[in-house]
Amino acid sequence: MGERMERVAIIGASMTQFGQREEWICELLVEAGVACLEDGGVDPAAIEHLYVSNMASGEFEGQTGIMNALAHDLDLLPAYAQRVDQTSSSGGAGMYAAWQSVASGASEMTLLVGGEKMTHKTTAESTDVIASITHPCEYKHGLTLPSFAGLTARHYLERFDAPRESLAKVAVKNHKNGVDNPHAQFQKEVDLETVLESPVIADPLRLYDFCPITDGSAALLFCPESVAKEYTDEYAVVSGIAGATDTHVVHERPDPTIMAGVVESGAAAYEMSGYGPEDIDVAELHDMFTILEFLQMEGLGFADQGEAWMHVEEGRTDRESELPINTSGGLKSKGHPLGASGVAQGVEIYEQLVGEAGPRQVDAEVGLCCNVGGFGNCVITTIMEAAA
Residues near a copy of itself (CB under 8 A) are: 1-2, 4-6, 50, 55-56, 58-59, 62-65, 67-69, 71-73, 76-87, 93, 96-97, 99-106, 108, 129, 132-135, 224, 242-249, 260-261, 264-265, 373-374, 377-378
Taking the complex as a whole, how short is the minimal distance between the CB of residue 254 and a copy of itself, in angstroms?
A: 12
Taking the complex as a whole, how short is the minimal distance between the CB of residue 188 and a copy of itself, in angstroms?
A: 33
Taking the complex as a whole, how short is the minimal distance between the CB of residue 120 and a copy of itself, in angstroms?
A: 16
List strands edge to edge, sheet with 216-224: 49-53, 110-116, 216-224, 8-15, 236-245, 378-386, 366-373, 282-284
Specify the residue, 108 or 189, whose C-beta has the smaller distance to a copy of itself: 108
Nearest to 277 by CA among 313, 238, 325: 325
Specify the residue, 244 or 354, whose C-beta has the smaller distance to a copy of itself: 244
Cα 60 → chain centroid: 20
CA distance 110 to 97: 10
CA distance 165 to 209: 11
Taking the complex as a whole, how short is the minimal distance between the CB of residue 116 and a copy of itself, in angstroms?
A: 13
Cα 379 → chain centroid: 10
Taking the complex as a whole, how short is the minimal distance between the CB of residue 229 and a copy of itself, in angstroms?
A: 14
Taking the complex as a whole, how short is the minimal distance between the CB of residue 244 and a copy of itself, in angstroms?
A: 4
Specify the residue, 12 or 92, whose C-beta has the smaller distance to a copy of itself: 92
Contact criterion met (CB below 8 Å) for 94 and 52: yes
SS3 for 135? coil
Beta carbons within 10 angstroms of residue 61's beta carbon: 17
Taking the complex as a whole, how short is the minimal distance between the CB of residue 201 and a copy of itself, in angstroms?
A: 22
Specify the residue, 282 or 338, whose C-beta has the smaller distance to a copy of itself: 338
Specify the residue, 53 or 326, whose C-beta has the smaller distance to a copy of itself: 53
Specify the residue, 135 or 176, whose C-beta has the smaller distance to a copy of itself: 135
Q: How many residues belong to the chain?
A: 388
- Four-residue CA torsion sign, 278, 242, 43, 72: negative
- Four-residue CA torsion sign, 39, 348, 236, 75: negative
List Cβ neighbours of 273 (8 Å cut-off, separation of 6 or more).
239, 240, 383, 385
Specify the residue, 16 or 134, whose C-beta has the smaller distance to a copy of itself: 134
